[in-house]
A and B are shown apart, each in its own frame.
Chain A
Amino acid sequence: MSIEVRLEGLTKVFHSHRESVVAVDLLDLQVERGELVTLLGPSGCGKTTTLRLVGGFEIPTAGEVYLGGKRVTHLPPQRRDTATVFQSYGLFPHMTVFENVAFGLKVRHLPRDEVRRRVREALKLVNLEGLERRYPRELSGGQQQRVALCRALVIEPRVLLFDEPLSNLDAKLRVETREQIRRLQKELGITSLYVTHDQAEAMAISDRIAVMSEGRLQQIGPPYEIYAHPANRFVADFIGRANFLRAVVVGAMDEKLAVELAGGVRLEVPFVEGLEPGTEAVAVVRPEAVDILPEGEGDVTAIVVFGHYTGSLATYKLSLPSGETLEVEVLSPQEKGFLSEGTRVGVRFHRQSIHLLKE
C-alpha cells in the first residue's frame, strides 16, 4: 500500500494579540491509498485546522505535509491535488449547478465536450441529473451538499477532504448521506480525510479513526480497535459511554490478567501490555457489557439509584458496594421489566469486553 497523505510533526499556532493557541501539536499521521481516515474530536481539538493544513488553507508553524510522497507544505491550495467538501459547502451562489461542478474542469482547460461529459457523469453519480440549470439557492440542503461533493469528485483529486460535511443536514438525511459518501468513496477508491465531531458518524464511515484532543493525536485505529481498546481515558470517554472502575492487577497469565475491583470483585480480563501484578489500573466497562440479574446472582450486588427509559433501551445507574456508580444499558427493556429505584440487583461483568488502562 502506498501512502497518499503523510503529516510529519505538523504544528499550527494561532496568535491573537493576547495569547497564542496551539491548535495542532506535533501531529504525525499517514493515510493510505483508497483509505478513509476520520479526524474525530470535540470542537477545538484541532481537527479542522489539520484538514485545512492539508488543503493548504493554513500555513503550518512547523512540520511538513506530503501528498503522494511529494512535499507540498509550501504550495498554495490551487497547486495541491486535493479537493474539499466544505462544511458550509462554499457553492458559488452566482453560478448554476452545472457551472459549479464544471468550474474545476474549466480551470484545467479541458475541452468543452469533455467538461460536459464529466459533469454529467458526476451529477449522475450523486443523483442530481436534471438540476444542472438550478442555482444553489434553489436547492434543498441535501442537494446542495451533493453538489459540493460532486464538485470535489469531478476533478478526481488525489485526496478528498471532508470538513464536517453533514453537520448542516437533519439527522435522518445525515445517515443516508453518509452511507452514500462511503459507498462512493469505496467504489471510486478515493483516499479521503474526513473531519467530524460525531462519533457515530466516524464509526460508521471510517477505515480508521484518528481521535484528537487539544491538538494532539490520542489514538488512531479501526473503529473496532478504538472502541474495544481505547488508548487512554479520553478516548474511552469520548467514544461511546464508559464506566471507569478502580482496579488492581493481582495476577498475570498468558493472554489474561487477574484484577480486583474496588469492591473486592475478582475478574479475569484480556491481557494488556505493561501492567504488572500489583499495579493500579482503571477498568473501562462499557454500559452494554454488564448483565443485570436477580439479587444474589452474578459478581456483585448493587442498588438501582436511577432509571431512565428511552424505548429501545433502559439506562440504569447502579451503586456498587465500593461506592462507585455503574451505568448500565439494557436492550429491549419491555421483555425484562423496568426496574424501579432502590431495587437490589445482581451484576455480572462481561470479562471479554473489559479493557484495562494504566492509571
Chain B
Amino acid sequence: MERYRELRRLVHDPFLLFLVTLVFALLTLFIVYPLVRVLTTSLFYRGEFNPKYFLQFFQRRYLIKPFLNSLTVGGLVSLLGTLIGFVFAYAVTRTDIPGKSLFKVIATFPIISPPFLIALAAILLLGNHGLITEFLRTRFGIDWDIYGLPGLVLTETLAYFPLAFMTLEGVLSGIDPALEESALDLGASRLRTFFRVTLPLATPGIASALLLVFIRSLEDFGNPIVIQGHYPVLTTQAYLAVTGMYNLPLAATLSVILLVPTLLAFVLQRYWVSRRSYVTVTGRPTPSSLKATTSGLKWGLFAVLCVLSGIILLFYGLVFYGSLTRMWGLDNTLTLENYRYVFSTGLDYLLDTLKIAGMATPIGGILAVVIAYLVTRKRFPGRGLMDFLSMLNFAIPGTIVGIGYILAFHRPPLQLTGTAAIIALVFIFRRMPVGIREAVAMLQQVDPAIEEAAVDLGAGFSRAFRRIVLPLISPAFISGMVYIFVRCVTAISAVVFVVSAQWQLITVALLHEVDNADLSQAAAYGVVIIVVVLSVILLLDNVLGKMILRRWQRVH
C-alpha cells in the first residue's frame, strides 16, 4: 500500500519521476550492463554455456600464476603500506615532531599524481638504464634491476601507503589521548600503554587500512604495466589478453577472477571492519597529548619520516630531472626537446584529455549530487538499489569496467567504441562515487527542514534543488568535480581499454613512451600531468578557501 502510494506520489512530481527514471536508466546501462557482459562473456563460449577458462583455472599457468602473483603483491604491499602508514599517522598524531604539515603534503603526492609515476621514477633509478643499476654494473659488475616482484612491492607501497596513512590518521586522532594518559597514570609503561591501549583501539582502523591497500594493489594497472617484468599480475594479463591475443573471453575470465578477492576485501572492509570501530567521531578536536612518547622515539619517528618523504621527493625530482634529459641512461645531456614534443606531437593527447575531462567533469559532478540527493532525501521505490548501484563501480577494479565497456558498446545499437563519449562515460561512472559520498556527507549536515520548508512553500523538486540544495552543498559539488577532473588526467586502468586512434589520453601517451623505452619523454608527460593537476587543485582551493585534499581524505 505504502509502496503503491510512493509510486503515485512520484507521478504527481513529474520532474522527480523523470530524474529517478533517468538515473536508473543510466546506472543500468553504464554500470550493470557492462558488468553483466563481462560475466556472460566469461561463462559463455560461442553462444553456449562453457566456462572453459574457469574450468582450466588450476591447470593453466597463464591463469593461476597471475592470480597468485596478484595476491602475493597485494599481501606484501598491504602489510608494508599499512606499516608505513601507521608510522606516519602515529608520528603525526601522537608526537610534536616539526614539519608535520609538510609530511602530510608529501604523503598526498602519490594520491593526486598518476600513481604509476612512482614506477617510472623507480625505473629511472633502478631499471635497465637506471642511475643505481648503471652504477652497480660499472663499479661492481653486479647485474641487477628492479623489474618484477621487488619493483611491484616498492612502487605500490609508495603509491598506496598514503591511503593507509589517511585512514589511520583519522583513527588515531579519534582516540582520546586521555585514555593513554589514564594508562600511564595508572602506572603502565609507555610500551605497555601502546600495546594494551593504543594498538587495540586502532585495530579496526588497521584492518581497514590493510584491506583498502590490498584492494588498491590488486586493482593497480599502471605500476605493473611499467615495472612487472616477467611477473604478470591479473590486471596486466587481462590487458594483454585483449590487446595482444584479442581473446575477450579470457580477459573477461581474468577480470572476474580479479573481482573475487577485491569484492571480498571490499565487503569485509565496508560491512564488517568499519562497524567494529571503537572510535566515535565527534568532530570536536581533542587537545592532543604528547606524553605517550619519549623524545628518543619522537626523533626516531622523525628520522623515518624524513627518509620516506625523502624517497618520495627524490622520485618525483627524478621524474622532473629525467624529463629534461635527451635519452635517459644513454644520453643524459639536458634539453627541453621532450617538452617541445609534448606540446607539438603530444598536444593532441593533452587536448583530447582536457576535452574529455571537460565533458566528464560537469556531467559527473551534477549526476553525483543528484544521486546523493535522491538517495538521502527522497523516498521512492528502489532507493536502496540506486544507492547500491551507484557505488558499485567504487568496489570494482577498473580493468573489469574497461573490458565491460568494450564488450557492451562495441556494436550497435549503442556503438561507442572509438568515441570520446565512451572514455568520458568510463570516468563519469567510475569516479562519481566519491562525489556522491561527499555530497551525502554534506547533506547529512543540512537540516532536512530547510528543504522541506522550500517544498512546503510550493517549490517543486527542480526549484528546491537548484535554489536550496545545490547552493548549500556547493563545496561538495565542486570538490566532486575536481576529483573527476583529476582522475581524468591521471587514471589509466579502465580507460586504457577504450582509448582509440581518434581519442587518446595523456596517460596512455606516457605509457607508450615507456613501452618505446623513451623514459625521458615519458617523464615529460608525467611532469605536464602533475602541473595540470596541481594548478586545477590550487586554483579551486583558493576559490573554495578549503583544502580540497582534506575533504577527499575524509570520504576516501
Contacts and interface: CB of A to CB of B under 8 A. Distances in A.
Contacts of A152: 456-457
B459 A78 contact: yes
Range of interface residues on chain A?
Answer: 35 or more
Interface string B435-472: 00000000000010111111111111001100110011
Interface size class of B (residues with CB under 8 A): 20 to 34
B450 A61 contact: no
A94 B1 contact: no
A84 B1 contact: no
B515 interface: no
Contacts of B464: 78
Contacts of A155: 457-458
A84 B453 CA distance: 7
Q: Which of A59, A94, A108 has the most CB of B within 10 A?
A: A59
B9 interface: yes
Interface string A38-77: 0000000000000000011101111000000000011111
Given A76-B13, A94-B472, A59 B6 contact: yes
Contacts, number: 87
A59 B9 contact: yes
A61 B379 CA distance: 14
B276 interface: no
Interface in A139-184: 148, 151-152, 155
Contacts of A92: 450, 453-454, 468
A87 B456 CA distance: 14
B460 A90 contact: no
Given A86-B449, A94-B472, A59 B457 contact: no
Contacts of A91: 450, 453
Main secondary structure of the interface of B (DSSP, over half): helix
B137 interface: no
A78 B1 contact: no
A90 B5 contact: no
Contacts of A191: none
A190 to B, nearest CB: 15
Contacts of A59: 2, 5-6, 9, 379
28 contacts: A55-B452, A59-B6, A60-B2, A61-B1, A62-B1, A74-B8, A74-B12, A75-B12, A76-B13, A76-B455, A77-B455, A78-B13, A78-B456, A78-B464, A82-B456, A84-B452, A84-B453, A86-B449, A86-B453, A87-B449, A88-B447, A90-B449, A90-B451, A91-B450, A107-B457, A107-B459, A152-B457, A155-B458
Given A86-B449, A92-B468, 16 more contacts: A55-B456, A57-B452, A60-B5, A61-B1, A74-B8, A74-B12, A75-B12, A76-B455, A78-B458, A86-B453, A90-B450, A90-B451, A90-B453, A93-B450, A104-B458, A107-B459
Interface of A: 13, 55-57, 59-62, 73-79, 82-84, 86-94, 103-104, 107-108, 148, 151-152, 155
